[in-house]
Structure 1
Amino acid sequence: MARESDSESLRVPVEGGALHLVAWPAPARAAAPPLVLLHGFMGSVAAWGDLPRRMAADRRVIVVDLPGHGESHRPRKPESYSIPTLAAAVGSAVSQVAPGPVDWLGYSMGGRVLLSGACDGLLSARRVIAESSSPGIEDPGERDERLAVDAERAHLLETLGLEAFVDRWMAMPLFASQRRLAPQTLERERRRRSVHDASALAACLRGASIARQPSYWDRLGPLGPRLLVLTGGLDPRFEAIGDAVVVRCPEARRHIVADAGHAVHLEAPEAWLRAVREHLDRRGAPE
């Protein structure tokens, strides 16, 4: 298994700035393609804990700080955070350090970036894992409602300040199942979210809003069995979205981790590892 000290920090130029990546090398004679991990809103390379190191037991693993997060560049204009723009930046950065098809996993907002890039051909994807994510919003009324919600969240972030906003964010019903986690784990999550730049995050909330992105619901079919839809059984909203995805993309694979909520990788890391490895390693999958 790879050691933490084996990882390499990279700064890769993209249009408008540079993305920060951390890469764990593949073991000698490893045949598996690289795996790229994309975090969610207010996440960073640190959001994955020791999962990248553990996944690097048999493949190269690359973890990305999305624009406005971690050590990547921090645009101030909302349009710099449109989901297709983020997908293009990530696809460009990864292609520079890992030419050829790679496997991808995106969580929440990172999953939306991944689905956008995979459907639009902005990144080279062999297998695709969407963890607690959505292909977009089809209903115009629902889209308008969500646009107002994200605009209000951005305003609160700017007026309350980052630490108060983080407290509100972590108290959302979406993350209720995380209250079962150890106090030190919750405090660690709070701290890692609180190191970001509030102005950049507010711009991201506006520009990357699911209400602004294209809907990819009718474009999922070509992903077929390359796609794994992963959700937690304690997250009924995204469990329903995941079920709807496999209706639109019947060949996609579906996995529900019963005792986890929205952040499966955080709440049930062992089950997450099993599900991810099973999808990446299964025989007969399309290349």
Structure 2
Amino acid sequence: MSATATVALHGFTGSAGTMAPLTSRLPDPVLALDLPGHGPVPISEDPADYTMAAAVAGVVDATAHLQRFALVGYSMGGRVALHVALSHPDRIAALALIGARAGIDDTAERAQRIAADEALADQVESEGIEWFADYWAARPLFATQRHRLSVEQRAELRVQRLECDPRGLALSLRGMGAGAVKPIGCRLGELSMPCALIVGEDDTKFAAIAHDMAAVMPQADVCLIPDAGHAAHLEAPDAAAAAVIQCVSS
């Protein structure tokens, strides 16, 4: 595979396959990866396999055949992408983040998020994957999908979530949730590669986060995607892909 490859990382409850609306619109070669606790691989019972360090190591191992590559990450995958870029900046030609943040800096907010994720992890394990798939789809963060995605698209998203192992999701929440991972906003200035911070215009919280991140990153541009919410690559895949391509080719 060429060193000009684009590597894509999905969000929580996703898999390599769930990035297809975006990756199918990107020029070859494209490599989509599964993050810990997601995808068809067997679930490990070792919590150490669900840390950010483990996720970064997995990406590094899976891309060992690539000298340099562009890295795209959505939501949780965006956090992983940031950590990969900070630990191996010489290998990342460009960075595109969709609905992502560098962590939670406020101590109280972070503690609340850790507690909430722990409670949700317990509930995923006790209630099962069908309950969780419906709960996750109903979150306000994804409200725009109810009128921007077709019934068939939303059904496919549910099918994809039902393929997740509830134990894997619970372990991922505990080890790689937004609160569990040490915030790295103070290190964003180290990222000198071209970076696109892609966010749906309706995702006002993450739009503000993107602008704050861009203010301290040397080569970052905020790319607002019209008529899209948090998962801009699903609701407006053409526009999201265009933003990624522009970043990678800059």
Comparing 85-94 with 42-51, greater Cα deviation is found at 42-51
Partner-residue secondary structure (3-state), 2:192: helix
Quick one: distance in 2 between partners of 1:69 and 1:266? 19
Aligned partner of 1:139 in structure 2 is 106
When the two chains are superposed, the root-mean-square deviation of aligned CA atoms in Å is 1.7
Give the AA of the match of 1:80: D
Pair member with larger Rg = 1
The normalised TM-score by structure 2 is: 0.94
Are 1:106 and 1:130, in contact at CA under 8 Å, matched by a contact in 2?
yes
| 1:50 CA displacement | 4.6
Aligned partner of 2:37 in structure 1 is 68
Give the AA of the match of 2:45: R
Aligned partner of 1:163 in structure 2 is 130
Aligned partner of 2:70 in structure 1 is 103
Aligned partner of 2:13 in structure 1 is 42
Q: Percent identity?
A: 35
Aligned partner of 1:183 in structure 2 is 151
Comparing 140-149 with 224-233, greater Cα deviation is found at 224-233
| 1:123 CA displacement | 8.1
Of 82, 87, 92, 2:61 maps to 92
Distance 1:163 1:214, change over 3 A: same
Quick one: distance in 2 between partners of 1:171 and 1:125? 35
Quick one: distance in 1 between partners of 2:21 and 2:10? 14
The normalised TM-score by structure 1 is: 0.82
Quick one: distance in 2 between partners of 1:124 and 1:135? 20
Aligned partner of 2:47 in structure 1 is 78
Quick one: distance in 1 between partners of 2:32 and 2:171? 22
Of 155, 163, 173, 2:140 maps to 173
What per-residue deviation string (whole Å, max 9, x for no partner) do you get for residues 33-70 of structure 1? Answer: 000000011111221235323313xx311011112211
- Greater RCO (CA < 8 Å, at least 6 residues apart): 2
Quick one: distance in 1 between partners of 2:144 and 2:36? 28
Quick one: distance in 1 between partners of 2:89 and 2:130? 34
Aligned partner of 1:130 in structure 2 is 97
Are 1:39 and 1:66, in contact at CA under 8 Å, matched by a contact in 2?
yes
Distance 1:132 1:83, change over 3 A: same
What per-residue deviation string (whole Å, max 9, x for no partner) do you get for residues 121-165 of structure 1? Answer: 288211011110110111111110100110111011011110111
Are 2:89 and 2:191, in contact at CA under 8 Å, matched by a contact in 1?
no
| 1:271 CA displacement | 0.6
Quick one: distance in 1 between partners of 2:208 and 2:47? 29
Aligned partner of 2:87 in structure 1 is 120
What per-residue deviation string (whole Å, max 9, x for no partner) do you get for residues 153-205 of structure 1? Answer: 10110111101111001100000110011111100000011011111111111
Quick one: distance in 1 between partners of 2:211 and 2:36? 30
Q: How many aligned positions are there? A: 249
Aligned partner of 2:22 in structure 1 is 51
Are 1:129 and 1:228, in contact at CA under 8 Å, matched by a contact in 2?
yes
Partner-residue secondary structure (3-state), 2:190: helix
Are 1:84 and 1:117, in contact at CA under 8 Å, matched by a contact in 2?
no
Which runs of 5 or more residues in structure 2 are unaligned? none
